Amino acid sequence: MRFNWLDWTAITLVIVGALNWLLVGLFNFDLVAFLFGGVPLLASIIYVLIGLAGVYMIYLVARESSREVPV
């Protein structure tokens, strides 16, 4: 299993998104809004990129699960 730069970028963004939701759920603290809240457009772009990374992860999982596993 080899990942390219887009795969790693998507994985990283999904992890950031998951950690952000963890913080929202536990402490009602939105890290993305905290870091980029002064620039609402930038925060929105970050949220969109995280969402697109999640959609890409569906493709990535399907791609990797369809590969033959060497025995």
- Residue 58 tokens read as 């569906």
pLDDT in tens, 16-35: 999 999 999 999 999 999 99
Is residue 2 packed enough to be buried (19+ CB in 10 Å), middle (13-18) or exposed (0-12)? Answer: exposed
> In terms of Cα–Cα distance, which of 71, 13, 6 is closest to 46?
13
Can you give the residue ranges of every domain in the chain? Answer: 5-65
pLDDT at 1: 72
CA distances from 67 to 15, 31, 51, 62 (A): 24, 36, 25, 9
Q: What is the pTM of this model?
A: 0.84
pLDDT in tens, 39-69: 999 999 999 999 999 999 999 999 988 887 6
